Amino acid sequence: MNTHAQPAALDVVSRPHDPKIGVEHRKAVAGALADCLADTYLLMIKTHGVHWNVMGPLFHAIHEMTEEHYGDMFEAADVMAERMRALGALAPSNVRAMLDRSEIRENGEASSAGAMIEELAQDHETLARRMHRMAEAAGEAGDIVSEDLAVGRSAFHEKSAWMLRSLAAS
């Protein structure tokens, strides 16, 4: 007799569903969300790495800015995953799925503070462009919630790229 039997409540398996919320092409919008979620999560990790490893006279400014950025992206990833669930899709939930969907590439070897800042700025611009595409797809599908989410996230990434480049300007 198995004394460690799992309660039936824990036997439930997550699966896609079909919500009746009036959004056309939910799968396409959820796919765009999954792409942006993957990009956001990987950029969050890269930003955290810069936060930990940056050195030099601008250490404190970069350390503080990157902490603000990765905190924001962590919260945003959760919002995007929950929006995917509201659309009836499953969110990517493993590193391989994130890497496969993302346009953000992993960090290379350790580099200068300037090189790290430039790479983060480029990644924020990549993500802003991806958010623009998601906003367009959501708008065409009549999904004002996902469209609004993408517009707000794009604004964050555009501002972050500008702030990082301004910090590194000499």
**Residues 131 and 33: beta-carbon distance below 8 Å:** no
How confident is the model over 40-74, as pLDDT tens digits? 999 999 999 999 999 999 999 999 999 999 999 99
Domains and CATH numbers, the chain: 23-103+110-168 (1.20.1260.10)
**CA atoms of 138 and 28, how far apart (whole Å):** 8
The residue among 119, 122, 103, 87 whose CA lies nearest residue 40 is: 103
**Residues 6 and 81: beta-carbon distance below 8 Å:** no
pLDDT band at 168 (very low <50, low <70, confident <90, very high): confident
How confident is the model over 145-160, as pLDDT tens digits? 999 999 999 999 999 9
The residue among 88, 86, 106 whose CA lies nearest residue 96 is: 106
**CA atoms of 114 and 101, how far apart (whole Å):** 27
**Residue listed under structure tokens 């009036």:** 22
**Residue listed under structure tokens 């959501």:** 138
| Higher pLDDT among residues 25 and 167, named by residue | 167
The residue among 105, 50, 103, 41 whose CA lies nearest residue 75 is: 41
How confident is the model over 74-116, as pLDDT tens digits? 999 999 999 999 999 999 999 999 999 999 998 777 789 999 9
